[in-house]
Structures are given as C-alpha cells and as structure tokens.
Amino acid sequence: MSLVVAGRIVSILAVTAGLVVGCARFDESASKPFTPAPTIEPEGMGPTSPQAPTTTKRPPGPCEDPDPAVIASCVNDPTGLIPLPDGLSGLVAERSTGKIFLIDTQDPGPWPNYLKQIGQVDVDASGDGGLNDIALSPSYNEDHLLYAYITTPSDNRVVRIGADGVPKPILTGIPKGGSGNHGSILFTDPDKLMVLTGDAGNPAGANDQGSLGGKLLRIDSPRTGSTAAPQVLVSGIGTAGAVCQGDQGNLWFTDRTAVEDRLQRLAPTGTVTSAWTWPDHPGVAGCAAGSDFVAVAMTNARGVSFAKTEKDTYAITSAPSLLYQDKWGRINGAAPGPNGTIWVDTVNKVGGQPTPTDDRVVVIAPSGGNGGRE
C-alpha cells in the first residue's frame, strides 16, 4: 500500500466556529478533542476567515451544479466525509479509487477546481470494499496523522498514515467477503478510536467473539502504535453503516440486516439499545448526532431521516421524519458541520440514476427545513 501525496499537507492557524442553537444543535463537547482545529492545506493555498461556504464566484465548468447547496461534484463513489471546523473546507474520499480530496469552497476557479487531491491509498475495491472511511487524528496539527478503514486483497483493516505517506497497520484481520466490507471509524477522545466493522457477508461470524467482523470495537492509544487487542463493545452488526458521537458520551451506529435496518445507541454505561428499526430497508448509512436528534442518511429511500431524541433518556418515541427525499438522490454519508449544518454525499453512480454532476457533496441546514444553507 502507498499514499501518493499531491502537494504538501500542513497545519495552519486554528479556526474556531460557533455552533447555532436551534433545531439542529450539535454537542459542543464532542469537538473538544479536536482543538486546535485541524485544517489541511495543499501547496499554494492560504488561510481564510470563517464564513459560510459559497460557490457563486466560480465560472462554469464541466461539473457545474446549479444547486447552491452543492459544494462538490463529479466525485466517484464518495465516502469518509469530514467537514473541517473553518466551515470553508472539508475532506472527502473515493471508495473505489482510494483517492482523498480537499474540498476548497473558496477556490474561484471553474468547476471542479475546488477538489484538490491530497493523497491516494492502494485498496481492493471489489464488491463493496475499498477506502471506506477516513478520520483525522484529534491532534492533527501536531502529529499530521490520518486514519483510514480500507480493504486489501486479504482483509479489511485500519491504517494510520503519517507525514511520510506510508500506511501503517493499526488493526488487521477484519474479515473480508464478497459483501459486508464497509466499515466506519471515529475518534471519541484523543486516545480512543471506535471501529464499526461489517459481517463480510457472514451473519454468524458477527456473533463469534473470535472474529473481528460484525462488531463495534474500541482501539486504545492508536496514535502511539499500541498493539493491544481491541475491545469488543457490541456484536451482531450486519452490513455496517456508520458510527457517530452524540450528547453526553452516547454513541449511535447504523447497520443493515436481512430482517431490518437499524439505528442503535451505546450508552456511556455500556448498555446497547435498539433505538429505531426499519423493516422496509431504506438503506441506513451515515449518521450525524445532535443534542436532541440523530440524522441518518437513507440510500434506498433517497433522503435524510431525522429522529428526535427525548431529553435525558435519549429514547426515540416517534417515527423519524424523512426530509430532502429525491432532492439529490441516494444519500450515503452524513457528518456534522459547523454552524448547525450537516454535510451529506450521494452515491448515484452506484445503483442510482446519476445526473451529469454526480456524485455530489451537499450542505444542508435542518433548522431551515429546506435544502441548502441559511
């Protein structure tokens, strides 16, 4: 495996972004390990001041999208979406190519000059394998580490990519199959990396404690190269969706089984609750948790489902609402952005009806109830 770096990855001045209190309220404590805020800058790009992303200055190009909510287009099978705290940029990866891009919304050049490739990792993209998720080190400004969940010819694994561009294995031996290879990674504090693994098409293996497949795992001290075995937090995961951090130490995670699609919650006490299930298989995927809701990307239902959580108990007692249905097609990734926004991406090129500008990264503002930013 190798990482080919296009330009240099450097840290610049930390940028702080306030969070808006309203219908979309994100847990401020969840971002505290990520201060000072990491920002990635290719060669020749300078720091910018915080403001809402805009695409209005760009001249037309082959990937021009008329929707002002779209901040990136012509991406191939996007995954691993990371909004950066400056509100002006983010990262997105491509599952099948292993490429990693910086989304620079302030580049005045024609579409799609705002997509700047910063790296590429070798992957086996057969089936649903490939580069399935990325995460920045909580102390990226100091250690310049990027983490990735990838498929190789022999297994699924988590790797750490340093300034030398060489992926170093952090966790290997996650089962690989013809399907069920998707996984998700998330830092919940500087020394705890959560890893959601799929069942590799073998539901029985998801409950086998000797297998790393179909589990929610915790890796301690991943930045120091710890070789300790991961702790199994939850078993019985089907096709893995995503794991996201909520209020007061709650973890939310999604998966798809033969019976139903699920949103589950892992409480700080270790209790696992099935928060909501969908027997009609809408295709639960990425998630973003706020202080009083969880947003779940719905690939097959072609929208974003918003589930209201009860105060203190975090129970979901009423059916989630499906918003933005058919506005951008098949939604796959979801991640909390600054200023109460949620960033989502589409996977219309795989199993959908792609437009000329698919696949796309979109910024939504749930407090407005409509697509686009406020």
State the Cα–Cα distance between residues 96 and 24, nearest whole angstrom. 32
Confidence (pLDDT) at 108: 75
pLDDT for 26 beyond 80: no
What are phi and psi for residue 134, nearest 5 degrees? -135, 155
State the Cα–Cα distance between residues 262 and 307, nearest whole angstrom. 12
| pTM of the model as a whole | 0.85
> Region 283-305: what's the mean pLDDT?
97
- Taking only the tens place, the pLDDT of each residue in 306-328 is 999 999 999 999 999 999 999 99
CATH topology for 28-41+65-368 is Neuraminidase (2.120.10)
pLDDT for 17 beyond 90: no
- Taking only the tens place, the pLDDT of each residue in 96-123 is 999 999 999 888 777 777 899 988 999 9
- Taking only the tens place, the pLDDT of each residue in 248-261 is 999 999 999 999 99
Confidence (pLDDT) at 367: 61
Mean per-residue pLDDT over the chain, rounded = 83
State the Cα–Cα distance between residues 332 and 330, nearest whole angstrom. 6
Confidence (pLDDT) at 225: 63
Query: Which two three-digit tokens encode residue 144?
Result: 């310049």
- Taking only the tens place, the pLDDT of each residue in 156-190 is 999 999 888 889 999 999 999 999 999 999 999 99
Side chain identity at residue 95, one-letter code: R
pLDDT for 124 beyond 50: yes
Confidence (pLDDT) at 23: 31
> Region 215-228: what's the mean pLDDT?
81
More confident call, 227 vs 285: 285
Confidence (pLDDT) at 266: 98
CA angle 335, 248, 368 (to 5 degrees): 45
User: Residue 144, CB half-sphere, CA atoms under 13 Å: how many?
Assistant: 14
Residue 91 pairs in a beta bridge with 82, 102
- Taking only the tens place, the pLDDT of each residue in 197-216 is 999 999 999 999 999 999 99
> Region 358-363: what's the mean pLDDT?
96
Q: Are the beta carbons of 108 and 362 closer than 8 angstroms?
A: no
Residue 289 pairs in a beta bridge with 294
Q: Are the beta carbons of 106 and 46 closer than 8 angstroms?
A: no
Strand-by-strand arrangement of the 192-197 sheet = 183-189, 192-197, 215-220, 231-235
- Taking only the tens place, the pLDDT of each residue in 32-79 is 333 333 334 332 222 222 233 554 455 677 888 999 999 999 999 999
Confidence (pLDDT) at 59: 63
